[in-house]
Amino acid sequence: MALVELDFRSQALNYHEEVVMVLPDVPADHPLPVLWLFHGANQDATEWLRQTSIERYANKRGLAVVCPTTSNGFGMDMVHGMKYFTMLSEELPALIHYTFPCLSTKREDNFTAGASMGGYIAYKLALNYPDKYCAAGAFAGALDIVEIVRDFTKDDSQINPFKLAFGTPEDIEGTDSDIIYLAGKLKAEGKQMPRLWSLVGLQDFGADQVKGAVAKFKAKGVEITDLYDMGTHSFDLWDRYVEQFLDWLGLPKV
């Protein structure tokens, strides 16, 4: 595949944003489907390419993959920090589709996914823009974000990424950043919904959080494909499920 490293000046962030992309080897006679793929905390745009075989998997299916750097901003327009959500939802798609017109803009050809923090970003983006993204996948995703923020902001003496990004749990509960609430709202209003997929390892420190989030989604009538396997919070597990996720998206090998 072609490996593209893109550095652009983001007006939302007021500094340069780094993006890594892979494009299939063989040109297609139709616009290419796109997976917008997000890294976890303390990582960067190269993580998925270095830790998994996503490039090889995508090449088999004629899939383009876009991996932006989001630092530890949780894809938020942070309370104290950068406007990552504005960058990810507005600037980045516009730039990528302008620069690479071979990529499809159709809803049915655009998917989001991510690991850990990136799983939250993937769900937030797809649920806020269900007219643009048809599915979202989370590999040990930070899905019950209200409870996670509540747990990590109990100590008022410490400033951590959760406080910087979200403020307090009350600041996000019942808002478009509360992805369980948002999914339930879309379902209750009968609006178009992205399909949701989740994987977590049973030895993952966040396994109970993911299980609880899945239960809350289902309690709201939201359909979600949830998978569990032996494993920790690691690409050792996640890489084994990437192709299964691509199968679930309906992307055949070409």
DSSP track, 44-55: -TTHHHHHS-HH
Within-domain flag for 86: yes
Per-residue pLDDT tens digits of the chain, which is 254 residues long:
799 999 999 999 999 999 999 999 977 789 999 999 999 999 999 999 999 999 999 999 999 999 999 999 999 999 999 999 999 999 999 999 999 999 999 999 999 999 999 999 999 999 999 999 999 999 999 999 999 999 988 877 667 889 999 999 999 999 999 999 999 999 999 999 999 999 999 999 999 999 999 999 999 999 999 999 999 999 999 999 999 999 999 999 88
Cα 226 from chain centre: 16
Within-domain flag for 166: no
pLDDT at 155: 74
How far is residue 132 from each of residues 34, 57, 115, 126, measured CA to CA in Å?
11, 23, 21, 7
Within-domain flag for 156: no
What are the φ/ψ torsions at residue 199 (nearest 5 degrees)? Answer: -130, 140
pLDDT at 184: 98
Question: Can you list the positions of beta strands (E) in the chain?
Answer: 2-10, 15-23, 34-38, 64-68, 110-115, 135-139, 195-201, 225-229
Within-domain flag for 203: yes
What is the domain extent for residue 78? 2-144+176-249
pLDDT at 154: 82
Strand pairing report for 195-201 and 225-229: parallel
In three-state secondary structure terms, 96 is helix
pLDDT at 158: 67
pLDDT at 157: 63
CB atoms within 10 A of CB 218: 12
Strand pairing report for 64-68 and 15-23: antiparallel
Within-domain flag for 158: no
pLDDT at 26: 76
pLDDT at 55: 96
CATH of the domain at 88: 3.40.50.1820
pLDDT at 1: 77
Q: Are the CB atoms for 8 and 95 separated by under 8 Å?
A: yes
Within-domain flag for 95: yes
Within-domain flag for 167: no
Within-domain flag for 164: no
Q: What is the DSSP letter of 77?
A: B
What total of structural domains would you count in the chain?
A: 1
